[in-house]
A = this chain, B = another copy of it.
């Protein structure tokens, strides 16, 4: 029964026992009459040892056959060994070769990024990529557990949509039978609002797409986004939730992914600080910070990446910037009742130059004002009739935000580029493997 198999991550349960393990050769070395095989099985790495004369010669001879990434099965006794990777060692009694690998292209020497990216299907086996994917998995699970544990209902938004939420120039489209073009979603938010009016608190979580011609270290054309949306929430409630959410994600990863963060050589000092309350500053105050730093910035513009970095440098944890000029924000955001030039928006800026990881707002809940905005933005009203219905039938104050998974993974893992944060990255110049 496959379910009763032994995996390296569980070796501590088998100390002193004879076990069988399947895996691949990560590395090997000889020392006199001793042979060391480093076996990886996807859950960890363990050192296996055999001594000439102590096991049959035909078994001992298999050492030479095994090239890097060859697959094999071993039997042997588990010992505790603090010096070994993972803390265990196995005294081999038998080795069964499953397949001998061709000469493996990825070796311990340095390779160029494009060389590795072309071999992403193999590169994923390296310990660094392994660590990143495990942190990614933990982040995604932390996100879902957070919402599942707080009464949110998962409402998956559609990927194929009949119209655009934010601009039409950055959309992928496809022919949709006799119905014309369909567009790949850029955000599930509008659908999430329908969900919030039905379920009170919802989240959607799926891939989103931007056909942006941006070749930066922060851009993927396909990325995963989680978007909670809550009825009867105002901007303050939204910020309360966002800070609780970020604290939950970061503290969970710190608790559960210590070995992975160590592999990544992540200095976690700044991550330890991600605890409530997060500082909250207005856009006006953010502009003041930029001016005090002697930076050129005109009130009314959107914050660029260097501006975000300059602002976040002033804080020891993520900072929330709220109440942006309405004209740089989306049509669906509610205006500040105290100043109609401002949108009730919030961006959360990660420290260490990682920039915006959350963008959110209170939504316009007044039918007439929303109609006005749709006209101002030259959006086709007919396509938004269903969205306007949410203001015709039981409109309430509501708010939500979106968090991009890949930027969050990059930040928490301390990576230079988002291309390592997703198993098979898609960028303007990369669609393979």
Measured CB to CB, the residues of A under 8 A from B are 1-3, 5, 7, 9, 22-25, 41-43, 69-71, 98-99, 101-102, 104, 119-122, 124-125, 129-130, 133-134, 136-137, 140-141, 144, 148, 150-151, 153-162, 172-179, 182, 184, 191, 194-201, 206-207, 209, 211, 213, 221-222, 224, 230-233, 237, 240-241, 244, 365, 386-387, 389-390, 392-397, 422-424, 426, 428-429, 431-433
A24-B396, A69-B393, A119-B389 known, 17 other contacts, Cβ within 8 Å = A2-B240, A22-B232, A42-B153, A42-B199, A42-B201, A43-B199, A71-B396, A98-B397, A101-B393, A120-B194, A129-B198, A133-B155, A133-B199, A157-B424, A159-B159, A160-B209, A386-B432
Closest to A194 in B: B121
Task: Give Cα A125 to B396, complex, Å.
Answer: 15
Q: How far is the CB of A173 from chain B (nearest CB, A)?
A: 6
Residues of chain B contacted by A387 (CB below 8 angstroms): 121
Residues of chain B contacted by A211 (CB below 8 angstroms): 177
A393 & B102 in contact (Cβ 8 Å cutoff)? yes
Closest to A366 in B: B99
Q: How far is the CB of A430 from chain B (nearest CB, A)?
A: 8
Closest to A399 in B: B2
Residues of chain B contacted by A156 (CB below 8 angstroms): 207, 224, 422-423
Closest to A21 in B: B232
Q: How far is the CB of A202 from chain B (nearest CB, A)?
A: 8
Task: Give Cα A211 to B230, complex, Å.
Answer: 34
Give the number of copies in the complex. 2
B230 & A124 in contact (Cβ 8 Å cutoff)? no
Ordered by A's residue number, 9 sampled pairs between the chains whose C-beta atoms are within 8 Å are A22-B231, A42-B201, A101-B394, A119-B386, A134-B153, A161-B431, A177-B211, A177-B428, A386-B432
Residues of chain B contacted by A231 (CB below 8 angstroms): 22, 42
Task: Give Cα A200 to B365, complex, Å.
Answer: 49
Residues of chain B contacted by A5 (CB below 8 angstroms): 232
Closest to A8 in B: B200
Residues of chain B contacted by A162 (CB below 8 angstroms): 431-432
Task: Give Cα A241 to B2, complex, Å.
Answer: 8
Task: Give Cα A184 to B211, complex, Å.
Answer: 14
B233 & A99 in contact (Cβ 8 Å cutoff)? no
Q: A3-B244, A241-B2, A396-B22 are in contact. Are A424 and B199 (CB under 8 A)?
A: no
Closest to A230 in B: B2
Instruction: Please name the 9 residue pairs, one residue from A and one from B, whose CB atoms are nearest each other, closest first.
Output: A42-B200, A2-B237, A386-B433, A121-B194, A42-B199, A69-B394, A124-B198, A158-B424, A137-B154
Q: How far is the CB of A303 from chain B (nearest CB, A)?
A: 27
Q: A207-B206, A393-B102 are in contact. Are A240 and B43 (CB under 8 A)?
A: no
Q: A153-B133, A200-B42 are in contact. Are A2 and B232 (CB under 8 A)?
A: yes
Task: Give Cα A144 to B140, complex, Å.
Answer: 11
Q: How far is the CB of A398 from chain B (nearest CB, A)?
A: 10
Q: Which of A120, A141, A206, A394 has most chain B Cβ within 10 Å?
A: A394
B98 & A396 in contact (Cβ 8 Å cutoff)? yes
Q: A2-B233, A7-B200, A232-B2 are in contact. Are A431 and B101 (CB under 8 A)?
A: no
B3 & A124 in contact (Cβ 8 Å cutoff)? no
Closest to A70 in B: B394
Closest to A154 in B: B137
Residues of chain B contacted by A390 (CB below 8 angstroms): 121
Q: How far is the CB of A240 from chain B (nearest CB, A)?
A: 6
A241 & B431 in contact (Cβ 8 Å cutoff)? no
Q: A9-B151, A43-B151 are in contact. Are A104 and B1 (CB under 8 A)?
A: no
Residues of chain B contacted by A42 (CB below 8 angstroms): 153, 196, 198-201, 231
B386 & A121 in contact (Cβ 8 Å cutoff)? yes
Closest to A179 in B: B431
A154 & B140 in contact (Cβ 8 Å cutoff)? yes
Residues of chain B contacted by A121 (CB below 8 angstroms): 191, 194, 386-387, 389-390
Residues of chain B contacted by A429 (CB below 8 angstroms): 177-179
The residue that A222 contacts in the complex, of B70, B130, B158, with Cβ under 8 A, is B158
